[in-house]
Structure 1
Amino acid sequence: MNKVLRFSRNELTFEKFLELTLKNLSDYFSELNPGKSFENFKIEILDKVWVTDNPELEDPYEILCTLLSSDDREKIAKHPMGPMVVSCAYLVRAIEAHRADKLNYAWSYMVDSRYWCGVALASRGIDSAYHKTKVETRKETAKSGADARAKKFEPLVQEAYRLTRALKPATKGWRSRNHAVQTIKQQVLDFSAEKSADVKPLSEKQIEKTLHEWLKNMPDANELFPAKVN
């Protein structure tokens, strides 16, 4: 499943709209042509539009007639690829206008490109689009929540890392990761209690399991803890 690209509204600059529209059109092209990638979309559709589009044309059918060979015109006019090609034409014009610093034209073309992109996507059916968006939104929400929780615990993680390095036995080092866990766990619990205003204190019942997970992911874990011998 292609990932749905989403931005908050305050992030939607011209460049973000461009990225979003290219992603939408490329994904749609791939759905119509299973196995084909963005590179195929670029070569077979976008590059061709870039070379042959006539910016003086505004009628969608005339745009299609210019961009497609005579054998394709009648068929493509009613084909789902038609709106996609028209969207590409307006998108190319938007890019060119933006490069020329004609921002009013750039945004005007972008609006038309987004409209025809929407027409293309709507042909898949609202149920498909809605389901795909909701699934990816739930995934992103869950990921954001996990990232936020991880960020809150980051000071505790870093303290555990610091103690592990600082208290490493000078001569033979740690006998195992568990050796380090047993040595630092009380100090980490104490540090967690001190930080209780910022993050929920660590549980004494879960401290060993938590520390094992943290220390396992230390960047220098391989140097600090001996490898297990099978």
Structure 2
Amino acid sequence: MLGQAGARSKNEKRELVKKFAFDEVRKRMRPGGWQAMSHAVLAVQDDVIAYSAQVGYPLKKPEPKNESENEVHRTLAKWLSEMPDAKQIFQFGNGGNK
């Protein structure tokens, strides 16, 4: 029972962090969407890391030597690709056609 409650709590915290990331990406988006998902990830990464620590689902801060390829970057990119409106927000290499 305690294991299930702990897992549920962890999942709830992860969902809070995902929602925060989604909201930040939408809030910072320029008209026409993001040119690349990696731009969005880098734009929100530090704030998402800080928020994740506040809610008890800490994401690791990236190592300065390899900021573009780290666990947090991959996690955020995966989450952002799952956004319901991802096709409208990110250009996905299709020349901007939505």
Q: Structure 1 residue 165 and structure 2 residue 26: aligned?
A: yes
Query: Hey, what's the Cα distance between the residues in 2 that align with 1:215 and 1:173?
Result: 13
| Unmatched runs of 5 consecutive residues or more in structure 1 | 1-143
Out of 73, 76, 89, the residue aligned to residue 211 of structure 1 is 76
Provide, for residues 46-104 of structure 1, a one-character-per-residue CA deviation record: whole Å limited to 9, x for no partner. xxxxxxxxxxxxxxxxxxxxxxxxxxxxxxxxxxxxxxxxxxxxxxxxxxxxxxxxxxx
Out of 202, 212, 225, the residue aligned to residue 59 of structure 2 is 202
If you compute each CA radius of gyration, which structure gives the higher value, 1 or 2? 1
| Unmatched runs of 5 consecutive residues or more in structure 2 | 63-70
Q: TM-score, normalised by structure 1?
A: 0.32
Task: Name the counterpart of 1:150.
Answer: 11
Query: Hey, what's the Cα distance between the residues in 1 that align with 2:76 and 2:23?
Result: 13
Q: Structure 1 residue 183 and structure 2 residue 48: aligned?
A: no
Report the alpha carbon displacement of residue 207 of structure 1 after superposing the two structures with TM: 1.3
Provide, for residues 117-136 of structure 1, a one-character-per-residue CA deviation record: whole Å limited to 9, x for no partner. xxxxxxxxxxxxxxxxxxxx
Larger CA deviation: 186-195 vs 209-218: 186-195
Query: 4+ residue runs of structure 1 moved beyond 6 angstroms?
Result: none
Report the alpha carbon displacement of residue 180 of structure 1 after superposing the two structures with TM: 0.5
Q: TM-score, normalised by structure 2?
A: 0.72
Report the alpha carbon displacement of residue 226 of structure 1 after superposing the two structures with TM: 0.6
Query: Hey, what's the Cα distance between the residues in 1 that align with 2:27 and 2:80?
Result: 14
Residues 1-230 of structure 1: pairs in structure 2 closer than 5 A: 148=8, 149-170=10-31, 172-196=32-56, 199=57, 201-205=58-62, 206-229=71-94
Tell me the C-alpha RMSD between the 2 structures. Answer: 2.1
Q: Which structure has more RCO (C-alpha within 8 Å, separation ≥ 6)?
A: 2
Amino acid at match of 1:221: A
Q: Sequence identity of aligned pairs in percent?
A: 28
Amino acid at match of 1:213: K
Query: Hey, what's the Cα distance between the residues in 1 that align with 2:77 and 2:92?
Result: 14
